[in-house]
Amino acid sequence: MIGERLKLARSASGLSLRELEDCLGGLVSAQAIGKYERDEMMPGSEVLIALARALDVSEEYLLRKGDLELVDVEFRKQRLDKARDRARVEAQVLAAVERYIEIEDLLAITSEWQAPDNFPRKIRRSEDAEKAAEKLREEWDLGADPIPNLAEFLEEKSIKIVSVSLPERVSGVKATVKKADGKPVQVIVLNGDHPGDRQRFTLAHELGHFLLDGGANSEDLCHRFAGAFLVPAKTLQREIGGHRTSVSIRELFYLKELFGVSAQAIVYRCADLGVINESLKRELFIVFGKRGWRKEEPMPIQKEQPARFRRLCLRALSEQVISVSKAAELLDVGARELLASLDEPPPASADDSPPGV
């Protein structure tokens, strides 16, 4: 039966039943596709091939039995209010995580998120969030230096990172996927359209939600945690000083480049630490507003590019655990394209993650 897989693939594509009918050129009706999804009918080989082509998946994908369940999704800030958008995102999360878990299983890799021991879960004050960020850096031996690629680092800690197109107002999603054995897989979904600095802050913020219970003030406290985790107090104060009565725009953007967060996040961080007062903070944000930088700043930070999934696929291919066709399917590329790329380094500016991962 292909009902569940077909519905998942259609949701991931964002197509309605009627739109999928149009993509098939009238080969079958929307009513018939609905029956396939409810497992009331089974498509013939011609229709199966057409469905796979229209949904950009393989026939094997549609025929395979899924064993993942999305058990929890939390949208930061404003939620996705359209059921169709939500279904699309949830389907893309499941498809991406399924590929990831499949390659880990093939390589016999155990990947399970574990929160650090003796971590202060319940927090109620900004100072608690600050200390929690410091303790986490200490537990993970991060020192006080900026983290070059946060998505890559979190994947090494067994948090799966998925990048999809989301509405501008939605920064990220914290999700939990349950495997067939009941074990949870923690996922952070990034808005793939956002610049790297916003993505990094989203990653740190959602990490805070995995670790902390901030009660009614969870959003504000995870915001403070994210700032402290990405921009350690000692490092920032070493760079900018303990107290400032003025700060130039150019200096803020140099700090943006150093820490990989927005210049506005640097201003907030300076205010949180008492480096600048509220009056100077307001002045700086007036400048950002007049120059149109509140939504999009100059000097964009490179988007987060986790490459662990791709590395595992290439490892499995080299060790002959999977075939070229299977590797191409997992990486969503053509077999010839994959073979041609094996003896070349990846393009310097390419997004090194497969679609949805």
Question: Smallest Cα–Cα separation from 337: which of 328, 348, 346, 329?
Answer: 328
pLDDT of 350 above 70: no
Model confidence over 260-287: pLDDT tens digits?
Answer: 999 999 999 999 999 999 999 999 999 9
Given a contact cutoff of 8 angstroms between Cβ atoms, the answer to whether 307 and 152 are in contact is yes
- Going 126 to 131 to 132 to 133, the CA torsion angle's sign is positive
Model confidence over 230-265: pLDDT tens digits?
Answer: 999 999 999 999 999 999 999 999 999 999 999 999
**pLDDT, position 66:** 66
Question: Smallest Cα–Cα separation from 57: which of 101, 30, 92?
Answer: 92
Model confidence over 215-229: pLDDT tens digits?
Answer: 888 899 999 999 999
> Distance between CA atoms of 350 and 357, rounded to whole angstroms?
14
Strand order of the β-sheet with 69-75 is 69-75, 172-178, 184-191, 160-164
- Work out the end-to-end distance of the chain between its first and last CA atoms, rounded to an integer number of angstroms: 27
> Distance between CA atoms of 100 and 355, rounded to whole angstroms?
12
Average model confidence (pLDDT) across the chain: 88
**pLDDT, position 200:** 96
**pLDDT, position 75:** 57
Q: Which residues contact 353 (CB under 8 A, 6 or more apart)?
A: 161, 163, 305, 306, 307, 309, 310
Model confidence over 295-317: pLDDT tens digits?
Answer: 899 999 999 888 899 999 999 99
Domains of the chain are 1-66 (1.10.260.40)
Model confidence over 134-145: pLDDT tens digits?
Answer: 999 999 999 999
Radius of gyration of the chain (CA): 23
Q: Which residues contact 15 (CB under 8 A, 6 or more apart)?
A: 23, 54, 55
pLDDT of 85 above 80: no
Percent of the chain with pLDDT strictly greater than 70: 92
**pLDDT, position 93:** 82
Which ranges in 24-125 belong to alpha helices (H)? 30-37, 45-55, 59-63, 83-106
pLDDT of 351 above 60: no
What is the secondary structure of 98-135 as a DSSP string? HHHHHHHHHTT------PPTT---B--SHHHHHHHHHH
pTM comes to 0.82
Given a contact cutoff of 8 angstroms between Cβ atoms, the answer to whether 2 and 42 are in contact is yes
> Distance between CA atoms of 131 and 136, rounded to whole angstroms?
9
**pLDDT, position 332:** 85
Extended beta strands in the chain, E state: 69-75, 160-164, 172-178, 184-191
Residue 324 backbone phi and psi in degrees, to 5: -60, -45
> Distance between CA atoms of 240 and 270, rounded to whole angstroms?
9
Torsion of CA 18, 19, 22, 27, to 10 degrees: -60
Quote the tokens at residue 332. Answer: 């969503």
Given a contact cutoff of 8 angstroms between Cβ atoms, the answer to whether 8 and 66 are in contact is yes
Model confidence over 152-163: pLDDT tens digits?
Answer: 999 999 999 988
